Chain A
Amino acid sequence: DAGVIQSPRHEVTEMGQEVTLRCKPISGHNSLFWYRQTMMRGLELLIYFNNNVPIDDSGMPEDRFSAKMPNASFSTLKIQPSEPRDSAVYFCASSLTRWETQYFGPGTRLTVL
């Protein structure tokens, strides 16, 4: 298994543009997590899904952020419109259940100019 796959690995965009980050969890894992990592705030959980259903989105910073999981093998995190303060590394992780070890993807480094 290739593990959790994220794309793109790097994204540079201009303020106001829409950004879509993608994640493919490990096959058979039922829980999927989106995190944001910055120097100031460390790792922050944005949202997590269990069996494709969003369970807790309290970490989503504002309405500009949205996440979907249309099926068990794919999730997206969308920022529209993007702002410079959204610049960060965004990680996706999956686990067998929400309480098991989380397996992380390589992250997407987002830079908003």
Chain B
Amino acid sequence: AQRVTQPEKLLSVFKGAPVELKCNYSYSGSPELFWYVQYSRQRLQLLLRHISRESIKGFTADLNKGETSFHLKKPFAQEEDSAMYYCALTAAGNNRKLIWGLGTSLAVNP
């Protein structure tokens, strides 16, 4: 079965420190992976997707098929990065609905 695991419910770092939000997935085929973010009092929105291979707001994520991971990283965290982050997977095929992780709440302290 397809599954997305975000092992940390809460991650707290200091401003300027590196941050890594972990995401592991379970899927036997070729998945598409996404990170969505929900800032306080704002809508859930797409942060980045692995096929675009871009850096958004200093965040990057690399798909590691060997480790079945798609960890989100930023070298220097900012206070405005504090938010809820969700990893999601969609599987190839006709019924490609998103499978979501439970989310990680990132708190960046001054």
Interface residues of A (CB under 8 A from B): 3-4, 41-45, 48, 55-56, 91, 93, 98-99, 101-107
Contacts and interface: CB of A to CB of B under 8 A. Distances in A.
Interface residues of B, number: 15
A14 B49 CA distance: 41
B95 A102 contact: no
A99 B103 contact: no
Contacts of B45: 103-104
A45 B44 CA distance: 14
Interface in B26-77: 43-46, 49
Considering residues B46, B96, B101, which has the most beta carbons from chain A within 10 angstroms of its beta carbon?
A: B46
Given A42-B101, A42-B102, A43-B86, A99 B44 contact: no
Contact of B97 (A4, A45, A103, A105): A45
